[in-house]
Amino acid sequence: MRFTDRVAIVTGAASGIGRATAKRLYDEGAALALVDRNEEALAAVADGMDRARVWYAGLDVACEDDVASCIDRVLQRFGALDVLCNNAGIAGGDYSLVSETKTAVWQQILGVNLMGVVHFTKWASRSMIERGRGAIVNTASVAGVRSGAGGNAYSASKAAVINLTMTSACDLAPWHIRVNAVCPGLIETGMTAPVFARAREQNKEDRLGYRCELRRPGRPEEVAAAIAFLASDDASYVTGQALPVDGGNTASLNLPGMKV
């Protein structure tokens, strides 16, 4: 119950890692503000939870005005904000060469994956600064660490999130606000569903996750556990870090066993 009497915002909470994170924080006692473009799916996430502890809203994280309004509504509803989990993101499905990637694709992906984090960090941190404490956890990706895990725009957006995690951690440390990130590897979520579906159709399910040392894909709950750690007082001396949750993928050259 590390989050008893604490208020947490989880963006991208309608599915995948965001949904698992919301459930993890709720089970550990948090009051939740859940955000996603899919308000109907958010209602399903909140179903069965104590409505006194849960509030949700559909919005586009790329719209700063909507984000600022959301923070105001959360503060009105709960009176405080302790934790922000910036999880909302899109893959875009674009794997074109950098010479061919359309500007609109860059703008769309950077708008959600990077500027969504910027907007929520900007407005949430103002409340945290007033209180002199807080924890922010951003969902980046192994695609932001090395190539081969996403398209150009997606990978660049996640690399930017990692760097923003470091710079904002330095900015906010004087007010005891910690900022960290997780870098998931291959996790089965709605975003990666086409990858898993294609592998199963081709009877290559055993190849999923073969490029990481643990030889398997991860589960949303495994990433949620890392997010909960970084958001909790158990990580009270951890800030400015990007933690891979990738089965060892970034620890190797994507050739499992080569070191043996």
Which residues neighbour 71 within 8 Å (Cβ) at sequence distance 6 or greater?
A: 9, 81, 120, 123, 124, 126, 127
Quote the CA–CA distance of 182 and 257 in Å, as a whole number: 25
With residue 228 as reference, give the H or E element that holds it: helix 220-231
CA 98, 103, 108, 112 torsion: positive or negative?
positive
Question: Phi/psi of residue 108, each to 5°?
Answer: -65, -50
State the residue for tokens 């915002």: 9
Q: Is 95 a catalytic residue?
A: no
Query: What is the chain's alpha carbon radius of gyration, rounded to the nearest angstrom?
Result: 18
Helix axes 16-27, 39-46, angle to 10 degrees: 30
Quote the CA–CA distance of 21 and 138 in Å, as a whole number: 12
Please give the full DSSP string across 170-217, using - where no structure is assigned: HHHGGGTEEEEEEEE-SB-STTTHHHHHHHHHTT-GGGTTTTSTT-S-
Given 26, 56, 95, 154, the catalytic residue = 154
Do the bridges between strand 7-11 and strand 31-36 make them parallel or antiparallel, or are there none, so unpaired? parallel
- List, by residue number, the catalytic residues: 154
